[in-house]
């Protein structure tokens, strides 16, 4: 599975400000056959402990949704 977090900002150049307006979370599943056909996916690891915590929270949320 591939998890992507996108943070959308509203930027006001005239005020030199930017603020978070929304966060989006996308999860993609890769077919096992695609890996056998030569698809390569890079492993990406969190850069900070905070990012790692968010990844684990996201994984826990997905696990609980799949169990329902």
**pTM exceeds 0.85:** no
| Two tokens, residue 52 | 């790692």
Q: Say what the pLDDT of residue 67 is.
A: 67
pLDDT at 68: 62
11 and 17 in contact (C-beta within 8 Å)?
yes
- Residues 6+ positions from 58 with CB-CB distance below 8 Å: 3, 5, 25
Per residue of the chain (68 residues), what is the pLDDT tens digit? 788 889 999 999 999 999 999 999 888 888 889 888 888 888 888 899 998 998 888 888 878 877 66
């Amino acid at each position: 599975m591939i998890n992507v977090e996108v943070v959308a900002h509203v930027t006001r150049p005239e005020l030199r400000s930017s603020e978070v307006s929304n966060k989006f979370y996308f999860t993609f599943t890769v077919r096992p056959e695609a890996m056998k056909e030569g698809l390569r996916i890079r492993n990406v690891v969190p850069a900070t402990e905070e990012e790692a915590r968010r990844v684990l929270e996201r994984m826990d949320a997905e696990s609980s949704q799949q169990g329902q």
